[in-house]
């Protein structure tokens, strides 16, 4: 693995530095909580925000040095060794119509792609609706998406009619034998070894800027000038896909665009177009992949 950056010491997250970088008035968050260990940052923050709403001004950020019971969409497990990943959740009030909230995982993916590329030089693509992908050094196709590997994921959860938790998990310093599946990767395997504190700050600042633009356009990502960039960074668009929906049914066709609400527009045989939404989807695969 001569092309991989030397693995740096895997240090405990510097809680004081995180507070200095991200807590207002110098940072983007009204409250920042750094935990040594937690089951899931999303579960923790959703439960706390519901139980003690006044204790969690917006935006509030929870970061874990080690997450032991991380979750993805549909409660899929996401686990990492200590001090190797970036796991965080942000409580925010979108301030836009509820029907626009489907854009949040897509906009978070855009913010993550921008931040990772700016801080590490590693190109990050997204897979609709909530995966982060990087190129695999060996070029082998493990996902049916070309030479790409999953490096992270996004999970948004509604707290109430006004608040949402946006969670993000990113593999940073894992070695190949520490990854749960061969189709996963880490930023280190992609050639970068960033400080988790610096990367976290870049991610949250990027997300704050994207959400600000989106909010000012009342949730219209296209009018905000964000929709085209989301599509441009999305590996899904332009591919033939199988979209698995509950009940064992599937939608087949070409992923051609994003809908006004962030749905995936699939053009089926015969030219008929169907919009599928993340809440109705079990999995998105390329045609021919397992």
Question: Tens of pLDDT along the chain (290 residues)?
Answer: 445 668 888 999 999 999 999 999 999 999 999 999 999 999 999 999 999 999 999 999 999 999 987 655 445 556 678 999 999 999 999 999 999 999 999 999 999 999 999 999 999 999 999 999 998 766 666 556 568 899 999 999 999 999 999 999 999 999 999 998 888 999 999 999 999 999 999 999 999 999 999 999 999 999 999 999 999 999 999 999 988 877 778 889 999 999 999 999 999 988 999 998 887 676 787 765 55
- DSSP 8-state class, residue 279: G
d(CA 267, CA 265): 7
pTM above 0.95, yes or no: no
CATH architecture of 237-286: Roll (2.30)
- Tell me if residue 268 falls in helix, strand or coil: coil
Give the residue range(s) of CATH 2.30.30.100 domains in the chain.
237-286
d(CA 201, CA 203): 5
Q: For position 198, what pLDDT does the model report?
A: 96
Q: Which CATH class is domain 15-230?
A: alpha beta
49: exposed, middle or buried (Cβ count in 10 Å: 0-12, 13-18, 19+): buried
Strand ranges inside 229-288, DSSP E: 240-245, 249-258, 264-267, 273-276, 283-286
Give the residue range(s) of CATH 3.30.930.10 domains in the chain.
15-230
| Mode of pairing for the β-strands spanning 31-38 and 60-67 | parallel
Q: How far does the chain reach from its first CA to its final CA, in angstroms?
A: 28
Q: Which residue has the tokens 């190109």?
A: 123
- pLDDT one-digit tens code per residue, 195-238: 999 999 999 999 999 999 999 999 999 999 999 999 999 999 99
- pLDDT one-digit tens code per residue, 245-257: 777 788 899 999 9
């Amino acid at each position: 693995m001569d092309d991989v950056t030397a693995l740096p010491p895997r240090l405990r997250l510097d809680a004081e530095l995180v507070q200095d970088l991200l807590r207002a008035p110098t940072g983007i968050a009204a409250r920042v909580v750094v935990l040594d260990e937690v089951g899931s940052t999303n579960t923790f923050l959703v439960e706390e925000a519901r139980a003690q709403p006044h204790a969690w001004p917006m935006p509030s950020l929870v970061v874990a040095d080690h997450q032991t019971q991380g979750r993805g969409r549909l409660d899929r497990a996401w686990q990492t060794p200590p001090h190797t990943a970036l796991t965080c959740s942000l409580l925010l009030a979108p301030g836009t119509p509820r029907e626009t909230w489907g854009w949040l995982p897509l906009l978070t993916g855009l913010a993550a792609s921008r931040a990772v590329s700016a801080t590490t030089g590693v190109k990050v693509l997204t897979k609709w609706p909530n995966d982060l992908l990087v190129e695999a050094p060996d070029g082998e196709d493990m996902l049916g998406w070309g030479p790409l590997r999953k490096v992270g994921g996004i999970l948004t959860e509604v707290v109430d009619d006004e608040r949402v938790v946006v969670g993000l998990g990113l593999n940073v310093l894992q070695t190949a034998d520490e990854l749960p599946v061969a189709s996963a990767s880490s930023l280190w395997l992609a050639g970068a070894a960033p400080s988790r504190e610096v990367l976290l700050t870049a991610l949250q600042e990027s997300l704050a800027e994207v959400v600000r633009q989106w909010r000012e356009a009342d949730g219209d990502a296209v009018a905000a000038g964000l929709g085209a960039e989301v599509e441009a960074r999305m590996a899904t668009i332009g591919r033939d896909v199988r979209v698995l929906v509950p009940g064992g049914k599937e939608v087949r066709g070409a992923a051609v665009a994003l809908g006004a609400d962030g749905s995936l527009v699939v053009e089926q045989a015969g030219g008929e177009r169907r919009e599928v939404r993340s809440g109705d989807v079990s999995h998105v695969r390329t045609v021919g992949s397992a």
